Amino acid sequence: MSCFLLVTLFYIIQFSCGAYSFSSSTLPHIKTVAIPLFQDQTSEFGIKEELTDQVIDEFTRDNTLRITDRRSADSLLEGTIIRVDDRAGAFTSAEEVENIQIFITVKVKYQDLKKRKTIWEEEITQWGTFDPAEGPESRQNGIEEAVEKIASEILNKSVSGW
């Protein structure tokens, strides 16, 4: 009797999970993505390379879409950094700036190259924090934090519903 239950349970699990797939149910023809170097409309140096690399790393780790060149890609992800703002975050009791938040805004467009249509397009703003007393390296850490958040959000928007 217990052998019969095990076999039955095995078949139930097998057939209920057998139809699941990691590929898109809404966009099954998209298997690859091209991610060219992001553009930069700000005076910040190096952010476009850092952001592009981080987005590519996110897609590579996720492995839902394979990164390829534009000529052979099913989809295209393009972005432009449009704003980088430093704003006072927290203050001490003596009303001195304790940390600064750095906000990065990126305009992103994700396109279906096979059907020649835009899948999504929007501005994404994320932030990181840094301590101004710790010097320029601290600001770079704040930029890296914001870039990581943006890259993660871009990936999620691009493969959501998959």
If one compares 28 and 92, the residue with the highest pLDDT of the two is: 28
For residue 159, the model assigns a pLDDT of 93
Q: What is the CATH number of domain 23-159?
A: 3.40.50.10610
- Give residue-wise pLDDT tens across range 16-68: 444 333 444 358 999 999 999 999 999 999 999 999 999 999 999 999 999 99
First to last CA, the chain: 40
Task: Name the one residue in this structure whose structure tokens are 């927290």.
Answer: 90
For residue 22, the model assigns a pLDDT of 43
For residue 161, the model assigns a pLDDT of 60
Look at 51-65, 78-92, 105-119 and tell me which has the smallest mean pLDDT.
78-92
